[in-house]
């Protein structure tokens, strides 16, 4: 079961037509009042004459006398011009030029009229005053001391406001021509004002240009003076800095020092390489100690030319001794001489090695000293270069400031000259294409006002109708009910006509539409179960006055017309009404039986109808306790076995819990809702109460449907027509 409110649905045009037709009285009334008020206001207005002048407006692209610069497209240009035309400054200029507040004052200020429409105007004025809340005079008086005193409004200001209200400016499509229109009660005054508005507009544009140029020149002149002072101050500061730091000499050094730095760096690298090489040789000699042969094998020592010559000489001496030894003995003078010469060479060799050792050590120390000296010179040169650069960094800062000030000053001087040259040129070109002619007939404002009143009346009335329909949250459609509630719609019962009694219509007029509706409900209930129809049927409503007692009575009559035995039990022990409807006594009944006052329940037959009824009896203080008793269960079981159908009339489900109690005892529950009265929230809450107790819901009956009530009413229109024709045939 779905008890939620409706989902989104497609709205057809006939739904809109139904809403408008339903509330046609409101629509017509609102439209009539609005149109009548619009007509009265239109007739109350004095006819006005419209005069217009055509002017050509275009931008002047030759304002830049230098021929330089690009003027971009301005999409707001014409909108700005329209606003200037309708500005207070332009109108004030025209009013002062024509002296409208003195010479033509009588055209704007009139004595109070005593026309027939004056009472209507006064009534409308009072009505508007009631709608708009007014300030408390005491509060206004109290706050007057805290505000600035305002000057009195002059006649010229009033006339300006009056002219602005009737002055318009609009373009002719696809042209640069603008139409300025003004309406006034006197055609000559309309012509005079609109022609002078065009002239005042041209004067205003020229004054705007002159004022803007003068202000710009004045501002730039004062700014140029400031920049000139800044330029002079920055130049003096630069000159003083150059003098204090001798930047002329420093500038010469700036070109030499980097070269010295590069040369010292190169020499230092060479000296360090030589020192490293000599250091390696010196360490090898030092490690060799007194081993002359080891020292001699060192490559740097071996490469010594003097040592090489001594080795060659010793080799030759050894060879000569070898040759002499073959001829002579060791004591031969020649052998002694040769050996003596060889020994001398060996001594020289030893001395040369010692000399090379001392020379290598001295060369290493000299190379090291040279590298240290070059490193000092390099560091000194670097520091000198850093000092020079620091001076030039500050110098560049001061020079940039001088250059910037000079550029700004030169630009301002150039702009002043350019602005002075173009001061007399106009930024907007304006020509009067057509002067205003004297209007011959009033303008068509009345037609516009009447069309506006007609549109407002019709659409406003329709809007009110839809607003009322939107705020109405009651059930107004059988199709909506079927879609939203989730239960079967067993039948739709129309509202009775003035000459019909709904309580006895099934008995007295069986061919009526309402009687047929109850028979349709009977058929739906009998067919609601596949095996056998429900025998005990609870008839309940959501809230009071929805027709549940009438439905129970007429539904019982339709069952009795089939030849079945039917019993009606009035279980509404709080506000019983069945005894009144059937005109039977109610001194004893269900309440007296359930309380034990009667041992047998009072079952009354109806004299002219084949049915029986158990009235409610006197109203007890505890209806819910009585209905939940074993006596009630036994009674329903006995009546169910005795009669074919037992119809139970119960209180509304939202009022008390009696209906929920009885729904558990009955075979099925019939829920009654009323068209245009039961709300969707009430229906949702009521069905939830039955669902909570797991009652068997047979369906819902929509009661009290109007003959033309929405989609339900369309059905009944045809049904009424059918039965109306049948009644005519019988007559």
How far apart CA 730 and CA 725 sit, in angstroms, is 9
Judge contact between 457 and 26, C-beta under 8 A.
no
Q: How confident is the model at residue 243, as a pLDDT?
A: 72
How far apart CA 543 and CA 682 sit, in angstroms, is 8
- Is pLDDT above 60 for 640? yes
- Residue 344 in any domain: the answer is yes
Judge contact between 49 and 190, C-beta under 8 A.
yes
- Residue 310 in any domain: the answer is yes
**Are residues 706 and 559 located together in one domain of the fold?**
yes
pLDDT band at residue 638 using 50, 70 and 90 as cut-offs: very high
Taking alpha carbons only, the member of 352, 360, 158, 384 closest to residue 279 is: 360
- Is pLDDT above 50 for 8? no
Could you report the per-residue pLDDT of 483-540, keeping only the tens digit for each? 777 788 888 888 888 878 888 888 888 788 888 988 999 988 888 776 788 999 999 9
Judge contact between 317 and 345, C-beta under 8 A.
yes
- Residue 187 in any domain: the answer is no
Which residue among 382, 406, 421 closes a domain?
Answer: 421
As for how many domains the chain has, the answer is 2
Higher pLDDT, 358 or 45: 358
Residue ranges of alpha helices (H) inside 63-186 are: 77-85, 88-98, 118-131, 137-144, 155-166
**Are residues 416 and 490 located together in one domain of the fold?**
no
- First-last CA distance in the chain: 48
Could you report the per-residue pLDDT of 273-329, keeping only the tens digit for each? 877 777 777 777 777 676 666 776 677 677 777 777 877 887 887 787 788 777 777
- Residue 637 in any domain: the answer is yes
**Are residues 550 and 683 located together in one domain of the fold?**
yes
**Does the pTM of the predicted model rise above 0.85?**
no
How far apart CA 150 and CA 144 sit, in angstroms, is 10
- Residue 566 in any domain: the answer is yes
Which residue among 421, 437, 462 closes a domain?
Answer: 421
How far apart CA 181 and CA 194 sit, in angstroms, is 7
How far apart CA 21 and CA 659 sit, in angstroms, is 39
**Are residues 536 and 671 located together in one domain of the fold?**
yes
Of 1-10, 312-321, 370-379, 608-617, where does mean pLDDT reach its minimum?
1-10
- Residue 107 in any domain: the answer is no
Could you report the per-residue pLDDT of 105-123, keeping only the tens digit for each? 888 886 655 455 556 666 6
Q: How confident is the model at residue 538, as a pLDDT?
A: 94
How far apart CA 731 and CA 726 sit, in angstroms, is 9
Average pLDDT over all residues of the chain: 78
**Are residues 510 and 363 located together in one domain of the fold?**
no
| Average confidence (pLDDT) over 383-403 | 74
- Is pLDDT above 70 for 36? yes
How far apart CA 263 and CA 138 sit, in angstroms, is 99
Judge contact between 669 and 695, C-beta under 8 A.
yes
Distances in Å between the Cα of 361 and the Cα atoms of 277, 282, 294, 367, 368 are: 12, 6, 17, 10, 11
699: containing domain: 486-726
- Is pLDDT above 90 for 612? yes
How far apart CA 168 and CA 86 sit, in angstroms, is 7
Q: How confident is the model at residue 3, as a pLDDT?
A: 44
Judge contact between 137 and 65, C-beta under 8 A.
no
- Residue 399 in any domain: the answer is yes
| Average confidence (pLDDT) over 54-58 | 87
- CATH code of 697's domain: 3.40.50.300
> Is residue 666 within a helix (H) or strand (E), and if so which, with residue range?
none
Distances in Å between the Cα of 469 and the Cα atoms of 15, 205, 546, 637 are: 11, 56, 21, 47
Q: Partners of 567 in the beta sheet? A: 612, 646
Q: How confident is the model at residue 651, as a pLDDT?
A: 92
Higher pLDDT, 338 or 710: 338
Distance of CA 398 to the CA centre of its chain: 53
Pairing outcome for strands 668-674 and 697-705? parallel
**Are residues 394 and 538 located together in one domain of the fold?**
no
**Are residues 602 and 676 located together in one domain of the fold?**
yes
Distance of CA 136 to the CA centre of its chain: 39
How far apart CA 51 and CA 182 sit, in angstroms, is 6
Q: How confident is the model at residue 61, as a pLDDT?
A: 62
Percentage of the residues of the chain whose pLDDT score is greater than 90 = 10
Higher pLDDT, 310 or 248: 310
**Are residues 549 and 668 located together in one domain of the fold?**
yes
**Are residues 579 and 710 located together in one domain of the fold?**
yes
Distance of CA 4 to the CA centre of its chain: 32
- Is pLDDT above 50 for 224? yes
**Are residues 490 and 584 located together in one domain of the fold?**
yes
**Are residues 582 and 691 located together in one domain of the fold?**
yes
Higher pLDDT, 49 or 143: 49
pLDDT band at residue 248 using 50, 70 and 90 as cut-offs: low
- Is pLDDT above 60 for 730? no
Q: What does DSSP assign to residue 107?
A: G
Pairing outcome for strands 489-494 and 697-705? parallel
For residues 653, 656, 658, 660, the Cα torsion angle rounded to the nearest 10 degrees is 50
Taking the CA of residue 386 as centre, how many other CA atoms within 13 Å lie in the half-sphere pointing to its CB? 6
Taking alpha carbons only, the member of 345, 266, 358, 334 closest to residue 312 is: 345
Which residue among 384, 406, 421 closes a domain?
Answer: 421
- Residue 586 in any domain: the answer is yes
Q: What HEC string does 660-698 produce? A: HHHHHHCCEEEEEEECCCCEHHHHHHHHHHHHHCCCCEE
How far apart CA 275 and CA 369 sit, in angstroms, is 9
Taking alpha carbons only, the member of 248, 203, 681, 125 closest to residue 432 is: 203
**Are residues 609 and 693 located together in one domain of the fold?**
yes
Q: How confident is the model at residue 636, as a pLDDT?
A: 92
Q: How confident is the model at residue 566, as a pLDDT?
A: 93
Q: How confident is the model at residue 7, as a pLDDT?
A: 45
Judge contact between 49 and 443, C-beta under 8 A.
yes
């Amino acid at each position: 079961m779905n008890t939620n409110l409706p989902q989104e649905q497609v709205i057809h045009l006939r739904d809109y037509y139904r809403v408008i037709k339903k509330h046609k009285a409101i629509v017509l009334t609102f439209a009539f009042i609005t149109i009548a008020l619009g007509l009265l206001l239109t007739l109350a207005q004095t006819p006005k004459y419209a005069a217009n002048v055509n002017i050509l407006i275009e931008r002047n692209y030759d304002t830049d006398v230098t021929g330089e610069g690009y003027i971009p497209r301005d999409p707001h240009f014409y909108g700005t011009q329209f606003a200037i035309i309708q500005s207070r400054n332009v109108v004030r200029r025209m009013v002062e030029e024509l002296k409208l507040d003195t010479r033509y004052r009588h055209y704007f200020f009139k004595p109070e009229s005593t026309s027939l429409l004056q009472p209507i105007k006064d009534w409308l004025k009072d009505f508007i005053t009631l709608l708009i809340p007014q300030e408390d005079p005491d509060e206004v008086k109290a706050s007057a001391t805290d505000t600035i005193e305002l000057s009195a409004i002059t006649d010229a200001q009033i006339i300006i406001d009056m002219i602005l209200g009737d002055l318009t400016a609009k373009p002719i499509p696809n042209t640069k021509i603008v139409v300025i229109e003004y309406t006034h009660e006197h055609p000559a005054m309309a012509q005079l004002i609109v022609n002078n508005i065009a002239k005042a507009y041209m004067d205003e544009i020229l004054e705007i240009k002159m004022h803007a140029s003068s202000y710009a020149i004045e501002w730039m002149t004062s700014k140029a003076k400031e920049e000139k002072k800044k330029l002079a101050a920055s130049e003096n500061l630069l000159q003083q800095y150059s003098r204090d730091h001798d930047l002329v000499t420093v500038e010469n050094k700036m070109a030499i020092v980097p070269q010295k730095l590069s040369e010292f760096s190169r020499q230092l690298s060479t000296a360090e390489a030589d020192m490293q090489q000599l250091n390696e040789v010196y360490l090898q000699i030092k490690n060799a100690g007194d081993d002359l042969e080891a020292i001699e094998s060192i490559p740097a020592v071996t490469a010594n030319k003097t040592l090489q010559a001594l080795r060659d000489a010793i080799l030759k001496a050894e060879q000569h001794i070898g040759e002499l030894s073959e001829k002579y003995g060791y004591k031969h003078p020649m052998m002694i001489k040769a050996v003596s010469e060889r020994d001398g060479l060996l001594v020289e060799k030893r001395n040369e090695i010692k000399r090379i050792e001392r020379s290598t050590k001295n060369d290493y120390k000299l190379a090291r000293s040279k590298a240290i000296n070059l490193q000092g010179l390099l560091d000194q040169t670097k520091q000198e270069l850093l000092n020079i650069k620091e001076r030039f960094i500050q110098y560049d800062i001061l020079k940039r400031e001088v250059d910037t000030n000079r550029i700004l000053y030169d630009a301002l001087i150039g702009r002043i000259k350019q602005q002075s040259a173009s001061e007399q040129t106009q930024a907007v070109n304006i020509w009067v294409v057509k002067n205003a002619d004297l209007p011959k007939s009033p303008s068509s404002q009345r037609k516009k006002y009447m069309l506006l009143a007609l549109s407002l009346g019709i659409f406003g009335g329709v809007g009110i109708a839809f607003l009322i329909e939107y705020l109405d949250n009651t059930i107004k459609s059988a199709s909506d009910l079927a879609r939203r509630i989730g239960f079967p719609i067993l039948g739709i019962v129309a509202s009775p006509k003035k000459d019909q009694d709904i309580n006895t219509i099934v008995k007295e007029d069986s061919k009526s539409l309402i009687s047929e509706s109850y028979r349709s409900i009977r058929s739906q209930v009998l067919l609601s179960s596949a095996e056998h129809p429900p025998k005990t049927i609870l008839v309940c409503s959501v809230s009071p006055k929805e027709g549940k007692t009438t439905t129970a009575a007429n539904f019982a009559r339709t069952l009795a017309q089939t030849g079945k035995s039917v019993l009606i039990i009035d279980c509404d022990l709080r506000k019983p009404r069945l005894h009144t409807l059937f005109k039977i006594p109610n001194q004893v009944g269900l309440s007296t039986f359930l309380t034990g006052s009667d041992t047998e329940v009072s079952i009354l037959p109806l004299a002219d109808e084949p049915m029986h009824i158990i009235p409610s009896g006197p109203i007890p203080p505890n209806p819910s306790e009585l209905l939940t008793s074993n006596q009630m269960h036994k009674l329903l079981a006995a009546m169910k076995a005795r009669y074919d159908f037992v119809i139970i009339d119960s209180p509304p489900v939202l009022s008390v819990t009696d209906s929920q109690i009885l729904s558990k005892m009955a075979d099925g529950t019939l829920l009654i809702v009323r068209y245009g009265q039961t709300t969707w929230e009430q229906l949702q809450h009521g069905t939830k109460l039955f669902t909570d107790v797991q009652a068997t819901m047979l369906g819902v009956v929509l009661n009290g449907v109007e003959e033309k009530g929405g989609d339900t009413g369309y059905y009944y229109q045809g049904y009424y027509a059918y039965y109306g024709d049948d009644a005519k045939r019988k007559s």
